[in-house]
Structure 1
Amino acid sequence: MGLALLSPLFLLGALAVAVPILVHLTHRERKEAVPFPSLMFLRRVPYRTVRRQRIRHWLLFLLRTAAILLLVGAFARPFVDRASLGPAVIGEGREVVLLLDQSASMAYGDRWERATAAARDRIDGLGPDDRGTVVLFSDRAEALSQPTGDRALLRAIVDEAGVQATPTRYAPALQLAHDVLDASEMPNRELVLVTDLQKAGWAPDAAIRMPEGTVVTTVDLSDAATRNFAVTGVRLDRTTRGGATELIASARVVNVSRDSASDVAVRLEIEDQVVETRRVAVAGGGAVTVGFAPVPLPNRDVRA
């Protein structure tokens, strides 16, 4: 029935039960000596006896034997192999860890909306015997609750979460998931990873292995063809025209994706107001500098 021993050689210690047996068989009560004044008037009569050894004090003998057997059993370290037990014995509950990516890349398009919808679907799919843990991660990972079967609590965690302005790092989240699953006594373990699978988030030296039998499911939110641009530098030059000081802004735009783009909109905004929009072409993996028309120099600090 799934019982095994971590140190079976200690069972040889069961031979020590011979010690109380020998003690109880060899120990004889001393007979009381009766002083007699003289034996001269007594006749010597031959008397044959058969010495019989038998155990006295059975309760004490059994207690000593049981103590030795218990010590032997403790040192042998028995345990129950849960994997060999059937569902009728240990149930069919699942330990589910949901990793929800909230890094900056999840703000692209409708990724975050799709991510939270997928997370809610997984939470709603938990059975009455299941437990779940929601882990929010970006460059670090955090579980906001202990493993629980309270689906309302898990949904509230997802509803209150939001995208962070931080990069993606998968190793901390996977390590936290491993710790939760490894400590679980549930017969079934499952890991659900909801992410856009940013390549930069994978660390080649982070080898994290989930507990044996863990079912890993990935909800891929990446887009088939994603244009990825970044503004890597902004330059502001002063110029004077008609006695007024003006600023000329220029920006360096990098195409991080492999595909070329011919109609990239680059906007200059001041105080959340669009001042000018330029459209440029950027080769795959290339960069281009975009210049804007001069604007009057503000007489106060502004946000562009």
Structure 2
Amino acid sequence: MNFLYPGFLFSLLAVAIPILIHLFNFRKFKTVYFSNVKFLKTVTAEHASQEKLRNLLILCCRILAIVFLVLAFAQPYWSSGITGSIENARLVNIYIDNSYSMEAVNKEGSLLDEAKRRAKELAKQFGLNDKFQLTTNDFEGKDQRPVSREELFNLIDEVKVSPAQKSLQQVLNRQNLTDAGKRNRYNYILSDFQQQFVGKGAVSIAADAVLNLVRLNANTIPNIAVDSIWALSPVHKPGGQEKFVVQLRNYSAEKRTGIPLKLVVNNQQRALATLDIPAEKSVRDTVTFSGLSAGWQKGLVSIKDFPVTFDDELKFAFKVSSGLSVLQISGGTQEKYISALFGADPYFRLRTMPESNILYADFHNYNLIILSGLKNPSSGLAQELKTYLKNGGTVVVFPDPGVSATIYSSFLTGIDLPKITALGKDTVSVSYIDLKNNIFNDVFEEIPSKLDLPKVNHYFVYENQTRSNREDLMKLPGGQSFFSRYRLGKGKVYLSAASLNSNEGNLSQHPVFVPLMYKIALTSVPDQPLYYTIGSSNYLSAATVTVNPNQSLRLVSGKQEVIPEIRQVPGQTLLYVADQIKTSGIFELHKADSLIGSYAFNESRAESDLHYADDKTLQSVFGRKKVNMMNASGDLLAKGVENNRTELWKLCLVLCAVFLAIEALLIRFFNKLKI
């Protein structure tokens, strides 16, 4: 048995008062002269034993009445087994879910406002010596210290809706970071308990904490969200046609019709549509526009849907490149196919270097390097290409089967490619083409039943080894590789088995050659996400940025400014923003006065799903561990405190009153002498 206020136990010294009264009779006797007391003495002797018993019973009743009265003020209770010392009071950790879903309303107003009110009511039920800790989705450092009740109220008043998203397990882990010491730990979760917040896996809780789940019930409301957007165009050219796919999702149980969709780029409306969305389904719409100039573009997809509005907009950013740099390293002056292919389009900036005069220092300036018909590929070239690939470059190798296989094998193994095992001289046709690969997936509008594929009569046979980084785009009979892609570091190598010489095959003159090389070139541009998600995207990538010791990079959006931490890795610069970005927007990356890039941030769409976990689901994630589940009503908020112990102070008051009543009955009716 423990006591909530053990200091009152000193009052037990008051039991000395009835004892003293019993030992010393303070009543003054008056002498009455009487002629003969012989018979009175006889009566007194006969009832002496009964009188003594009566006095002892009265004394016991008085002592017990005082004892139980003192115990009632000390508030005893039986503990349910939770460790801790009541002398050090309690540590109460209250989590208030301040995600976007808490903007939903019920008869009490918004769920967030109700949660803040209930948190204050709950705190009032604890003692003055208790300490409190507030947890929200922001996981701020200032909330990791125990505070008084008054400080807690101030922190609760400051809680606002946040785009940060946390899971139930993350919240519980955060609550238990603070050492409770000798205090009893009470954890409260005030939330609407969305399904995505609860999750489906098992949830672990601290053994020394009493966990109470307080559910806040919202009115059932429909919601439609702009779920995502992606580009169909692998690269964005000035004035070229742009194709974007927008996906909307209906989270309600009813079909929604006539949803207006608007696409704006650089504050100019580019597309407008009206969509019907089935219940709990997604629909996609492809929007097409053109006329963009070179540079960074800022886009916005929006709909109109009430009352949940945070997911009605999706911001995105992308770059329209002014051109793409291609380097051709040729082993012969007769090579003309690459020059004819890329020289006809001004978007491609083609430069040709002879094998005898290669400028290795310029490799980083090119998006794509093509090796065509090299006669004597050196180990130095292999080493430079390996560094280029490590930094994210793209290389295409068209070997010359007329050159010694030993020379080429040494070169290929120098950049981690398979060596040559044989030289094929029989005329064969390509037997397989991977039309699902991103290189070919949008080349053919309709696949013919008998597809005409390239032929070759002079080619290398490469070592057939199982490699996880190898993708065969085209194969020869027998599963031999004809044109394959290898991922090396951050870069890609496309290795052909034949040259572009028309005397050795017709690949360079085949219709598939143009889209093949164009798609390789277009996909060589580093792919930056159209947008990032607040709270889950902590790293941003940019092309390598050189920063002096006294310089810094700035992410700016309106009045918001973030100074990211810079980390240099091969081929790119990583910008670590942690949790500095709190609101959605398009941030421009500046180095001094120059613009380096644009990055869009949006809220997580997980909060758009307004489906909630029921009590059965909540209990299932905790298994057999006991948790207290309750609704947010005033008479239930104390349940979490009461369930941890059995209060005895009311029983003490009842027993005090009982013994006082027994004393009164003893005085009035127990063997009262009649003389």
TM-score, scaled to structure 1: 0.52
Q: Distance in 1 between matches of 2:2 and 2:110?
A: 46
Name 1:173's counterpart in structure 2. 171
The 1:150–1:228 alpha-carbon spacing in structure 2 relative to 1, beyond 3 Å, is same
* Aligned match of 1:84: 78
Which runs of structure 2 are paired with 1:1-304 in the superposition (5 Å)? 83-84=77-78, 95-103=91-99, 105-106=100-101, 114-115=111-112, 118-119=115-116, 122-123=119-120, 126-127=123-124, 129=128, 130-137=130-137, 144-152=143-151, 154-156=153-155, 159=158, 163-165=162-164, 167-177=165-175, 183=181, 185-186=183-184, 190-203=186-199, 204-208=201-205, 214=210, 216-220=212-216, 222-235=218-231, 245-271=240-266, 275-292=270-287, 294-304=289-299
Could you report, residue by residue, the CA deviation over 1:76-102 in whole angstroms, capped at 9, with x for unpaired residues? xxxxxx8438xxxx69x7643211224
**Equivalent AA in structure 2 for residue 231 of structure 1:** D
- The more displaced of 106-115 and 168-177 is 106-115
| Distance in 1, Cα, partners of 2:144 & 2:174 | 13
In the alignment, the residues of structure 2 paired with residue 143 and residue 183 of structure 1 have an alpha-carbon distance, to the nearest angstrom, of 19
Equivalent position of 1:59 in the other structure: none
The amino acid of 2:116's aligned partner reads A
Q: Aligned partners of 1:217 and 1:181: how far apart in 2?
A: 21
Higher relative contact order (CA 8 A, sep 6+): 2
Equivalent pair of 1:123/1:151 in contact (CA under 8 Å):
no
Counterparts in 2 of 1:121 and 1:196: CA distance versus 1, 3 Å: closer
Provide the aligned length of Structure 1 versus Structure 2: 212
1:201-240 C-alpha deviation (Å, 9 max, x unpaired): 224222426757x4724242654133243433433559xx
| One-letter identity of the residue aligned with 2:78 | S
Given residue 159 of structure 1, which amino acid in structure 2 is its aligned partner?
A: E
Q: Does the CA-based 8 Å contact 2:111-2:216 persist in structure 1? A: no
Question: 1:177 Cα shift?
Answer: 3.5
Structure-1 separation of matches of 2:249 and 2:141: 33
What TM-score do the two structures reach when normalised by structure 2?
0.26
* Preserved contact between residue 94 and residue 190 of structure 2 (Cα < 8 Å): yes
**Matched letter for residue 261 of structure 1:** R
* Cα shift at 1:180: 5.7
Any unmatched runs of 5+ in structure 1? 4-81, 239-243
For residues 276 and 148 of structure 1, what CA distance do their matches in structure 2 show?
53
Q: Deviations over 1:246-278 (max 9, x none)?
A: 534432333345433223332212235655442
CA contact (8 A) 2:115 2:191 kept: no
Inter-partner Cα distance in structure 1 for 2:298 and 2:102: 22
Amino acid in the other structure paired with 2:281: G
Cα distance change of structure 1 residues 230 and 184 upon mapping to structure 2, 3 Å threshold: farther
Deviation at 1:181, TM superposition (A): 9.2
CA distance in 2 between counterparts of 1:120 and 1:225 reads: 23
Structure 1 residue 133 displacement after superposition: 0.9
| CA 158–286 in structure 1, closer or farther in 2 if over 3 Å, else same | same
Find the aligned partners of 2:298 and 2:283 in 1 and give their Cα distance. Answer: 23
- The 8 Å contact of residues 229 and 244 in structure 2, kept in 1 or not, is answered as no
Q: For residue 200 of structure 1, report the CA deviation from its aligned partner.
A: 1.9
**What is the aligned partner in structure 2 of residue 75 from structure 1?**
none
Query: Aligned residues: percent identity?
Result: 12
Contact 2:222 2:251 in 1 (8 A): no
Structure 1 residues 164 and 229: alpha-carbon distance in aligned structure 2, compared to 1, 3 A threshold:
closer
Q: Give, in angstroms, the shift of residue 179 of structure 1.
A: 6.4
Question: Measured at CA, do residues 106 and 163 of structure 1 come closer, stay the same or move farther in structure 2, by a change above 3 Å?
Answer: farther
1:127-179 deviations in whole A, cap 9, x for unaligned?
361432101237x79772322214235523661665134x4310121244356
Code of the residue aligned with 1:137 in structure 2: it is N
Distance 1:162 1:287, change over 3 A: closer
The separation in 1 between residues aligned to 2:141 and 2:172, in whole angstroms, is 11
CA-CA distance at 1:301 after TM superposition: 1.5
CA RMSD for the aligned pairs? 4.4
1:220/1:181 Cα in 2 relative to 1: closer, same or farther (>3 Å)? farther
AA partner of residue 226 (structure 1): P
Do the aligned residues in 2 keep the contact of 1:197 with 1:222 (CA within 8 Å)?
A: no
Alpha-carbon contact 1:245-1:297 (below 8 Å) kept? yes
Q: Which amino acid aligns with 2:245?
A: S
Q: Do the aligned partners of residues 221 and 274 (structure 1) sit closer, same or farther apart at CA in structure 2, a change above 3 Å counting?
A: farther
Conservation of the 8 A alpha-carbon contact between 1:100 and 1:193? yes
Q: Aligned partners of 2:270 and 2:176: how far apart in 1?
A: 51
Report the Cα distance in structure 2 between the residues aligned to 1:269 and 1:257, rounded to whole angstroms.
27
- Does structure 1 retain, via aligned residues, the 8 Å contact 2:92–2:187? yes
